[in-house]
Amino acid sequence: MAYVESRKNLAGSACGIAGLVLTFTGLAGAYWPVVVVGLYGAGALIAPPERPAAPDFSDPSSQLEALRADFQTLRAYLDEVELPPAASGRLTELTELLDGLLAPGWVSKALATDPEGIHALSRAVHQDIPESVDTFVRTRWWTRIAPGTEPPERHLERQLELLHREAEELAAGLREAEARRQQTHTRYLEDRGRNG
């Protein structure tokens, strides 16, 4: 069935019909079957090849939807973990910032145009935050068995601080992109006013 709808068959059929027209006008003579088949074959040979369909990748907005759902799963996990007050405060600041970046609206629309930003958020939600918290929980247990080592709270606080800074840089980049967009629109309106 695919060949029936193919370009080669359609081009060959069009040329074959031209051969039938030549037959009915009397130009093909007694060799009309050879003319029709020959023209069909020529048309099938000169037709452009079929091109494969382009891959259909997921829309960035659907990636954000999946990331939002994963972020809610992460928050449920974080609510069950007992953290020291300083680390808990830093984690709250980080999750509030991520929640603002992932919230539906114009921010997520701007984020959808930034694949690097989506990747950074995805890495933070799927890998960095869970790894930091889980490593702290496991290390804290070992510290109770062997006291006198460096407290794992310091590492957790530093990791959360670095992740918060990374999220702030992402938010600043989105803000700058919107500011440039506004400036570009202003210049456009000014140019239009001068030329109009």
For the CA atoms of 96, 101, 105, 107, the dihedral, rounded to the nearest 10 degrees, stands at 140
Blockwise average pLDDT, block size 10, the chain, 196 residues: 80 90 85 88 85 74 86 94 92 94 84 86 95 90 69 91 95 89 91 81
pLDDT at 108: 79
C-alpha distances in Å from residue 57, one per residue of 48, 50, 85, 103: 26, 21, 43, 23
120 burial level (CB within 10 Å; 0-12, 13-18, 19+): buried
pLDDT at 71: 95
This prediction has a pTM of 0.65
Q: What span, in angstroms and rounded, lies between the C-alpha atoms of 16 and 172?
A: 64
CA 190 to chain centre: 35
Domains of the chain: which residue ranges?
A: 7-46, 60-195
Q: Contact at 8 Å (CB) between 129 and 77? A: no
Q: Contact at 8 Å (CB) between 63 and 114? A: no
